[in-house]
Structure 1
Amino acid sequence: MIALLMAAGVGLASSLVGTRFLIVWLRQRGIGQPIHADVPDAHRTKAGTPTMGGIAIVGGAVVGYLVAHTRDGMVFTRSGLLLIGLIIGAGLVGAADDWIKVSQERNLGLSKAAKSIGLLSVAVSFSVLAVTVTDVHTNLSFTRFDNFENLDLGPGLWCAWAILLIIGCTNAVNLTDGLDGLAGGSAVFGFTAFTIIAFWAFRNAGQPEAIADYQIPHALDLAVVAAAMVGSATGFLWWNATPARIFMGDTGSLAIGGGLAGLALLLNTHLLLPIIGGLYVFETMSVILQVAGFRLFKRRPFRMAPIHHHYEFAGWPQTTIIVRFWILAGLSTAIALGLYVADFINLTGQ
């Protein structure tokens, strides 16, 4: 528990202080966010706000993770290092996208093909290493690896499934990152849920056979990574809350999405991820419905997608949208944890 508190506390402090200096550094170099021409008018005043703030999120998480291992008994594990590598790798793809946007002063970064190839490379590397150097289970899972005993995907299909989850989650968080603090605040809920799940698995390691299904190799180290992300996302949120002094950019949103997907895969909670990240699913579905509605019926169901922009056009203040969407994120996280605990009680009778 102390290691988790260290990871979260150091991650928060590093991100909180680091973001402040990052804002100054970015402003001095004129690195600001270009704004789409078709967004609500309220966004036009944000043009030039420093971006690439995800550097502070990733950096804070890495520092928090490293410092937590100065505690006696904490050791670096392949699973923990692989997850940190996924977060950094996805963040680097986002950083390249952000840099092209600000250097060319337009809201178009990497081409869709280049961005997809970058994310695909990171996802493939993670999935292949997961099945070769860690003891990850290859069963399709909900709250534990044997929810579906006869659905062992095997290394090949598991890798394909892992790639799909990583690509889907990174893009979903990226779509959600459209209002000050929306993606960062909701990420705190998601990483908190995975901190609890990973620590739960660690606490049950070595317990009677009845709960062997919850024994996950390197669970404590995964909990430390999740806690470090909770702290760093919270520290960044101090500067990203309305009115934002800095945006996380794709650097932050892709790193957050990669971290959430990686935790779900390594903690055997694949199908629990869409519930934990219910807000991201909600935002992504609004885009899918918008595109499908126009292509099939030549009508758009929303004034603009993702759906948070729809409510902006409807006249909702940004703070109202953000807080209500945070509530949705909190509720979905609570439901996911409730399902996790309920399954544990059902299996063990405790």
Structure 2
Amino acid sequence: MIYHILLAFVVTFIITLVLGKVGIPMLKSLHAQQSIREEGPESHQAKAGTPTMGGAFMMLALTTGVAIFAPWNVATGMLLFLTLGHCLLGFFDDFVKAVKKRNLGLTAKQKLLGQFILAAIFCYFITEIMVLPTTLWIPVIDAHVQLGFAYYILAFLIIVGATNAVNLTDGLDGLASGTSAVAAIAFSVIGLMIYSTENSVAAESVAYFGAIVTAVCLGFLVFNINPAKVFMGDTGSLALGGAFAGMAILTKTELLLVVIGGIFVMEALSVIIQVISFKTRGVRVFKMSPIHHHFELSGWSEQTVVNRFWFGGAVLAVLGVVLATVTL
């Protein structure tokens, strides 16, 4: 199985490279160009006009890899559903920004409604069709807490939180794709671990899916590393967030997502803290949020920020796997 997963990784990586070579010129011809926030770092203004919506060819490569290599079962189908559903939601958002030239894209209510519908369908299938337990596993102490109906609320929060957190991280060249790659491989390893002990269908799907997501992210990184030739846009970032949420829920490692995706959590928290502080005290805690911009405005070069966030993401991914190893 490991060799088959490695084959899936290699082939999907190559597919992503090929689609990138073909897709980037197409995005340029369609004038799907990135709009840059006026209040953002001045150095980012040079990125204006860079093709966006690269997440479209990322997800095409992912779907191809999954169709060829991943086991055909309900778990794989639900992972694809949650990922591609958010890809479509992100596509509409990017379309509004790139074509309609409205930089903020879809409204928050429109996004939230789409995420709620996707989360509701996903939760129904995993609990009613796959009959996964509505319990929350507590790492380290290896305890399982029965949440009952409250689990649906938790799952919704995980899906919305993960998708928006990855979306917020996608602000520097290579940042989201690099950190997503290390997080995805961590879930692939955890899926393999669970499958080896429990022979779980869901874990098998996650093992393949995580490896394929990693391949897609690394393949995209070839074009997205500084200076980026293309951005993934919400088409890619929302889809990746959906993939992480789905893999965490299917392996019942929801809390480990907070560790493995610690960079995403930090990015989201920085925005929440900034908004609450400014609205309640009129004070900005950070020079700019998400926090990667704070470090840029503090004098770090863009690539320094990205490299250090990659390293932090890798450490957290390893920590998440270690926590799973000593507990599962």
What is the TM-score normalised by the length of structure 2? 0.96
Offset, 1:221: 2.0
Instruction: Give the distance between the partners of 1:221 and 1:128, measured in 2 at CA.
Output: 18
Contact 1:10–1:228 (Cα < 8 Å) also in 2: no
Secondary structure at the aligned position of 1:36 is classed as coil
1:10–1:67 CA contact under 8 A, matched in 2: no
**Are residue 227 (structure 1) and residue 211 (structure 2) matched?**
yes
Q: In the alignment, which residue of structure 2 is the partner of 1:15?
A: 16
| Alignment match, 2:178 | 185
Query: 1:181–1:241: 8 Å Cα contact kept in structure 2?
Result: yes
2:136 matched to 1:153? no
Within a 5 Å distance, the mapping from 1:34-49 to structure 2 comes to 34-49=35-50
1:108 aligns with 2:101: no
> Which position in structure 1 is the counterpart of 2:162?
169
Paired residues for 1:211-222 under 5 Å: 216-222=200-206
Whole-angstrom CA distance in 2 between matches of 1:120 and 1:243: 35
What letter is aligned with 2:48? Answer: A
Deviation at residue 318 of structure 1 after TM alignment:
0.4
For this pair of structures, how many residues does the alignment match? 327
Letter in 1 for 2:90: G
CA deviation map 1:285-336 (0-9, x unaligned): 1111111221222111111000111111112110000000111111111111
TM-score where L is the length of structure 1 = 0.90
Runs of 4+ displaced beyond 2 Å: 146-149, 215-218
Could you tell me which amino acid in structure 1 is paired with residue 215 of structure 2?
G
The yes-or-no answer on 1:142 pairing with 2:138 is yes
**In structure 1, what residue type is equivalent to 2:53?**
M
Question: What SS does the corresponding residue of 2:146 show, helix, strand or coil?
Answer: coil
Indicate conservation of the 8 Å contact 2:202/2:251, yes or no.
no
2:189 match: secondary structure = helix
Q: CA deviation at 1:143?
A: 4.5
| CA offset digits 1:248-302 (Å, max 9, x no partner) | 0001110010000110000010111100001011111111111122122211111
Q: Does 1:246 align with 2:253?
A: no
Q: In the alignment, is the contact (CA less than 8 A) between 2:97 and 2:104 conserved in 1?
A: yes
Please tell me the residue identity of whatever aligns with 1:231. A
Amino acid at match of 2:220: F
Distance (whole Å) between structure 1 residues aligned to residue 238 and residue 8 of structure 2: 21
3-state SS, counterpart of residue 50 of structure 1 = coil
Give the Cα–Cα distance (whole angstroms) in 1 for the partners of residues 30 and 86 of structure 2.
24
Q: Of residues 236, 241, 244 in structure 2, which corresponds to 1:260?
A: 244
| 1:278 is aligned to 2:274 | no
Worse overlay, 335-344 or 18-27: 335-344
Tell me, in whole angstroms, the C-alpha distance in 2 between the residues paired with 1:95 and 1:119: 13
Distance 2:279 2:98 in 1: 32
Which residue type is aligned with residue 312 of structure 2? L
Q: CA RMSD in A?
A: 1.5
Give the deviation of 1:16 after TM superposition: 1.3
Question: Within 2, Cα distance between the matches of 1:200 and 1:190?
Answer: 16
Do 1:196 and 1:223's aligned partners in 2 also have CA atoms closer than 8 Å? yes
User: Within 2, Cα distance between the matches of 1:303 and 1:285?
Assistant: 15
2 CA distance for matches of 1:56 and 1:223? 22
Flag structure 1 segments of 5+ consecutive residues without an equivalent.
70-74, 206-214, 345-350
| Native 8 Å contact 1:198 1:223 kept in 2 | yes
Larger radius of gyration: 1
SS at match of 1:218: helix
- 1:55 to partner: Cα distance: 1.0
1:61 is the counterpart of 2:56: no
Question: Is 1:335 equivalent to 2:282 in the alignment?
Answer: no
Q: Is 2:52–2:233's contact at 8 Å kept on the other side of the alignment?
A: yes
Identity of aligned residues (%): 36
Q: Distance in 1 between matches of 2:139 and 2:5?
A: 22
Task: State the shift of 1:148 in Å.
Answer: 2.8
Which of 76, 80, 83 is 1:80 aligned to?
A: 76
Change (3 A) 1:148 1:343: closer
The letter for the 1-side match of 2:146 is D
One-letter amino acid of the counterpart of residue 76, structure 2 = G
Paired with 1:288 and 1:66, the residues of 2 have a C-alpha distance of 38
Q: CA shift at 1:216, angstroms?
A: 3.1
Partners of 1:278 and 1:311 lie apart in 2 by 17
Equivalent position of 2:190 in the other structure? 197
* Secondary structure at the counterpart of residue 35 of structure 2: coil
> Aligned with 1:178: secondary structure?
coil
SS of the residue corresponding to residue 140 of structure 1 reads strand
Write out per-residue CA displacement over residues 176-217 of structure 1, whole angstroms, 9 at most, x where no aligned residue.
110011011000011100000001111113xxxxxxxxx533
2:180 and 2:217 in contact (8 A); partners too = yes
